[in-house]
């Protein structure tokens, strides 16, 4: 054996030894996870044998060395949950699941897991991605002031204003951005309706992704805006039932008019029917007289003979 062969054999032996010492008799598989904001995330791992113990650490990023500090699950220490039960472990034979309830933007990152079985152990890192909430904006009109609210979302989203003809009115609006939980923001934009801007329709678009143009849009037609305004003022005077009453009154009046019309028709029909009956009576009474008259005429020539 030359030295190269010796080295190869040595390396082979070393690799067998190291995999044995790391106990790679069991396989463990955990997949990356993508969860919508405020939903429950589940990082699940499956093995070919019974999983006996689990340790999970939170990392800034799976690719970043030494960024895993906070231990969230450690069954060796009897720690099956953390953050007052928001994060918990479900261990079912060869399946291990870490559930995270009502995920926040800060839950995004790497989860380093150490799984143990009687025949071996393994470690790896799973990435949890939290998709930002994409909530429909709410659009309100108060007098000549239009306000569009996007209550919660990624700080990089944009709000644009358009009129019904697709003209960009964004430059005439003022934007207020406020910090919300977890690095998300709340955006409010206000557009003052000026005669020079007057349009039949106003649309507020929340643009979540500039490249894909993914957005949620809410429009308000100027007519609708007026009714909304009326609703607003009537709500202020706490008398929102008036329109319904109007409808009821109109319906009742319409019903009465129809009744009168029907009554008149019926009366006229009745009169005509009575007239027809009278005529029939006259004919009926007349017939015998006529017949008698005919008979009389028939008899008359005999009398003459």
Ligand X SMILES: *[C@@H]1O[C@H](CO)[C@@H](O)[C@H](O)[C@H]1NC(C)=O
Binding site for ligand X (CB under 6 A): 38, 46, 48, 71, 77-79, 93-94, 102, 152, 160, 168, 170-172, 196-197, 205, 207, 213, 215
CB of 224 to ligand X, least distance (A): 21
CB of 199 to ligand X, least distance (A): 10
Q: Choose between 52 and 79: whose C-beta lies nearer to ligand X.
A: 79
DSSP assignment letter at 168:
B
Q: Choose between 102 and 280: whose C-beta lies nearer to ligand X.
A: 102
Strand partners, 73: 56
CB of 181 to ligand X, least distance (A): 7
CB of 261 to ligand X, least distance (A): 52
Distance CA 98, CA 107 (A): 12
Distance CA 72, CA 92 (A): 19
Strand order in the sheet with 68-74: 33-36, 120-131, 109-117, 51-59, 68-74
Q: Choose between 172 and 234: whose C-beta lies nearer to ligand X.
A: 172
In this chain, which residue has its C-beta nearest to ligand X?
171
CA distances in angstroms from 185 to 14, 103, 131, 149, 211, listed in the order given:
54, 16, 14, 11, 20
Largest CA distance in the chain: 171
CB of 67 to ligand X, least distance (A): 18
Distance CA 141, CA 239 (A): 19
Q: Choose between 102 and 290: whose C-beta lies nearer to ligand X.
A: 102
DSSP assignment letter at 84:
T
CA triple 36-177-140, angle to 5 deg: 85
CB of 16 to ligand X, least distance (A): 24
Q: Closest Cα to residue 38, out of 133, 108, 134, 103?
A: 103
């Amino acid at each position: 054996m030359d030295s190269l062969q010796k080295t190869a054999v040595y390396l082979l032996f070393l690799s067998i030894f190291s995999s044995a010492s790391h106990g790679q008799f069991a396989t463990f598989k955990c997949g990356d996870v993508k969860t919508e904001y405020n939903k429950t995330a589940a990082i699940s791992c499956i093995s070919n044998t019974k999983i006996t113990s689990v340790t999970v650490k939170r990392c800034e990023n799976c690719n970043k060395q030494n960024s895993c500090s906070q231990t969230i699950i450690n069954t060796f220490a009897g720690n099956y949950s953390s953050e007052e039960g928001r994060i918990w472990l479900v261990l079912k034979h060869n399946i291990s699941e870490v559930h995270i309830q009502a995920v926040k933007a800060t839950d995004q990152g790497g989860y380093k897991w150490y799984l143990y079985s009687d025949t071996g152990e393994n470690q790896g890192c799973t990435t949890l991605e939290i998709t930002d909430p994409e909530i429909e904006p709410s659009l309100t009109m108060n007098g000549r002031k239009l306000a569009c609210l996007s209550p919660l979302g990624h700080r990089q989203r944009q709000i644009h204003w358009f009129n019904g003809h697709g003209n960009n009115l964004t430059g005439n609006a003022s934007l207020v951005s406020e910090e919300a939980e977890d690095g998300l923001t709340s955006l409010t934009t206000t557009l003052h309706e000026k005669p020079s801007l007057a349009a039949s329709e106003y649309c507020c678009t929340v643009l979540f992704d500039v490249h894909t143009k993914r957005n949620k849009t809410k429009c308000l037609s100027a007519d609708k805006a007026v009714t909304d305004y009326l609703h607003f003022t009537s709500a202020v005077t706490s008398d929102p039932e008036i329109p319904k009453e109007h409808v009821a009154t109109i319906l009742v009046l319409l019903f009465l008019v129809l009744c009168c019309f029907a009554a008149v028709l019926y009366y006229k029909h009745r009169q005509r029917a009575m007239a027809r009956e009278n005529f029939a009576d006259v004919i009926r009474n007349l017939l015998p007289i006529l017949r008698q008259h005919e008979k009389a005429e028939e008899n008359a020539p005999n009398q003459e003979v």
